């Protein structure tokens, strides 16, 4: 009987030992939430990130702009002499670009003498279509001055050139407008940035022809040819920033949703600026959307008024007629009204065949597209002359200016996304962190560090590429569906599941252990009594 009791005690102790040594660790290991390692220290450093932007500016002096003493300290370029014999600054800009092409994000300022006839008399600085600028220097600037004094005297003008052609404090503040508290003065200065779309890996551009009265006119538009001629060159130049896809459609019996007012003094119908905000919603319901893509959509609508409301003119807030007869909505698109009442003759046979003047239409849409993509056309400082846009619709320095803003915006967005994800994962311990998420987070942090380093070095092209990689990796990590697997599985549900499973097994073991402990105490008391 004693041996059987002893055997039972050993069996209970063995089972308890197996449960505690093997069972509990095994259960803990197989039921714990897997959380891969994240670079938390590097992410915390990103929260206090301070950007430092630098751009390479090369100043080239032409013959006659420096004294012989000054010339000994700086090598005067010979190529600048070629542009002095050009008949116009536009021709000089092309000649200088052909001889030496500046890399992305850099500027070259050519200092020309006061006697040069390249620039008009009231112009001191000419900004070309490339990454070059012509700066006229006065004769009094160089007489009796050392080279250091001459450069110090030119520094304010060169800073103005840099702010126009590269980036300024306003541009960087506008790029960070969603993350920086703005003063009342800055809110007006970044009004242009508020209408532009946020940075995105891709954009969808939709051109729509709205014909509300197909019984009166049959409208024809060569949208494919117009896009290839006017829009595609701009999008090709913007390829480093994002991918673009274009589609078009024709909508019949599509009304604006706002009844225009008839102005008897002009014998025309008018749309006031107050009613323009009510035009978009009714029209947008007919446009449809690309559900297969998450990219922003830029809508460009050409509206041909029906015969009963023609001609139709848009008026601004000053009750003045808008010359382009078009308007745009921030971060949505633009609408142009195209009147065709001139095609209605006394002997017209309905429906009248009408061919749209696509050059006129695309000129308006191209200007609206520039605004919506963030290409700001601010007024230059006094004494500046800016060359008109080329056939691509975008100057090289305008592309650089947009790339600076987009790079800073991408860095700020990716930093906010990564830090928010790290805080979320730290606060909620039930979220699974797979190796894929950890890899995306590490990739985003590495790309952010490289983007910041390239910005400080002035390598704009590499900085933009790294910033795009950072924002893509951070968004993939933040929106990974595996993060939600155990998000709604709290600890009380775990106890509700595991208690019915382990309680029936643990109660006999605990009772056996308590009985063994009780018998051991009883034997100890009996031995103590015998000794006494």
346-397: pLDDT as tens digits? 676 778 888 999 999 999 999 999 989 888 767 788 888 888 777 778 888 8
pTM of the model: 0.80
Round to whole Å and give the CA distance between 501 and 11. Answer: 22
413 within 8 A of 147, measured Cβ to Cβ: no
Measured N-to-C along each axis, helices 40-47 and 396-427 cross at an angle, to the nearest 10 degrees, of 130
Question: What was the pLDDT predicted at 103?
Answer: 81
Q: Rounded mean pLDDT of the chain?
A: 80
How confident is the model at residue 78, as a pLDDT?
43
pLDDT at 69: 63
d(CA 495, CA 499): 6
The whole-number pLDDT of residue 140 equals 53
User: What are the pLDDT digits (tens) for 99-130?
Assistant: 667 788 888 888 877 777 777 777 888 888 88
Rounded CA gap, 414 and 241, in Å?
A: 16
Write the CA distances from 409 to 349, 412, 436, integer angstroms: 55, 5, 25
Average pLDDT over residues 29-41: 80
Tens digit of pLDDT for each residue in 471-529?
A: 999 999 998 888 876 655 666 777 777 778 777 877 887 888 788 888 888 888 888 88
Q: Pick from 467, 425, 420: which is nearest to 444 by CA?
A: 467
CA distance 217 to 350: 7
pLDDT tens for residues 129-166?
Answer: 888 888 887 655 555 567 677 777 788 888 888 888 88
Average pLDDT, integer, range 318-339: 89
Higher per-residue confidence, 491 vs 306: 306
User: Are residues 431 and 32 in contact, defined by beta-carbon separation less than 8 angstroms?
Assistant: no
What is the average pLDDT across 50-59?
82
pLDDT in the model for residue 471: 92
Tell me what percent of the residues of the chain surpass a pLDDT of 70.
83
| Weakest-pLDDT range from 180-194, 314-328, 460-474 | 180-194
Confidence check: pLDDT of 206 > 80:
yes
Rounded to whole angstroms, the Cα distance separating 113 from 111 reads 7
Q: Is the pLDDT of residue 449 over 70?
A: yes
Tokens (6 digits) for 194: 């508020």
């Amino acid at each position: 009987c004693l041996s059987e009791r002893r055997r039972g005690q050993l069996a209970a102790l063995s089972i308890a030992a197996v449960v505690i040594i093997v069972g509990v660790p095994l259960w803990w290991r197989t039921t714990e939430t897997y959380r891969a390692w994240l670079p938390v220290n590097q992410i915390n450093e990103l929260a206090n990130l301070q950007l430092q932007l630098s751009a390479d500016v090369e100043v080239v002096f032409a013959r006659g702009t420096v004294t012989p003493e000054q010339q000994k300290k700086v090598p005067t370029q010979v190529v600048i002499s070629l542009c002095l014999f050009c008949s116009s600054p536009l021709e000089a800009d092309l000649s200088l670009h052909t001889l030496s092409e500046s890399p992305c994000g850099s500027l070259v300022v050519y200092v020309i003498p006061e006697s040069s006839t390249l620039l008009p008399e009231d112009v001191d600085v000419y900004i070309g279509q490339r990454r070059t600028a012509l700066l006229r220097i006065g004769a009094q600037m160089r007489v009796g001055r050392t080279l250091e004094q001459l450069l110090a005297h030119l520094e304010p003008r060169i800073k103005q050139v840099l702010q126009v052609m590269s980036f300024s404090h306003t541009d960087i503040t506008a790029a960070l407008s969603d993350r920086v508290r703005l003063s009342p003065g800055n809110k007006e200065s970044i009004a242009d940035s508020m209408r532009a779309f946020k940075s995105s890996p891709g954009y969808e551009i939709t051109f729509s022809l709205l014909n509300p009265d197909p019984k009166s006119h049959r409208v024809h538009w060569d949208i494919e040819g117009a896009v290839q001629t006017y829009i595609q060159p701009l999008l090709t130049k913007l390829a480093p920033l994002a991918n673009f896809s274009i589609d078009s459609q024709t909508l019949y019996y599509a009304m604006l949703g706002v009844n225009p007012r008839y102005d008897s003094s002009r014998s025309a119908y008018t749309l006031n600026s107050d009613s323009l905000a009510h035009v978009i919603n009714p029209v947008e319901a007919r446009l449809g959307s690309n559900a297969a893509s998450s990219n922003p959509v830029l809508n460009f609508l050409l509206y041909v008024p029906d015969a009963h409301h023609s001609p139709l003119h848009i008026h601004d807030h000053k009750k003045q007629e808008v010359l382009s007869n078009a308007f745009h909505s921030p971060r949505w698109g633009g609408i142009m009204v195209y009147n065709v009442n001139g095609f209605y003759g006394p002997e017209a046979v309905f429906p009248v065949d009408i061919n749209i003047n696509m050059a006129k239409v695309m000129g308006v849409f191209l200007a609206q597209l520039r605004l919506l993509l963030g290409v700001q056309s601010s007024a230059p400082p006094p004494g500046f002359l800016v060359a008109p846009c080329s056939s691509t619709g975008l100057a090289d320095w305008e592309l650089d200016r947009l790339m600076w803003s987009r790079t800073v915006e991408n860095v700020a967005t990716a930093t906010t996304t990564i830090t928010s994800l790290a805080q979320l994962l730290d606060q909620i311990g039930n979220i699974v962190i797979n190796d894929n998420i950890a890899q995306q987070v590490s990739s985003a942090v590495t790309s952010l560090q490289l983007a910041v380093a390239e910005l400080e070095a002035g390598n704009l092209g590499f900085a933009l590429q790294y910033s795009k990689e950072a924002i893509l990796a951070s968004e993939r990590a933040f929106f990974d569906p595996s993060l939600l697997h155990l998000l709604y599985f709290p600890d009380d549900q775990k106890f509700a599941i595991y208690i019915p499973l382990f309680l029936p097994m643990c109660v006999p073991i605990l009772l056996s252990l308590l009985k063994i402990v009780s018998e051991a105490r009883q034997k100890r008391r009996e031995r103590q009594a015998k000794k006494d």
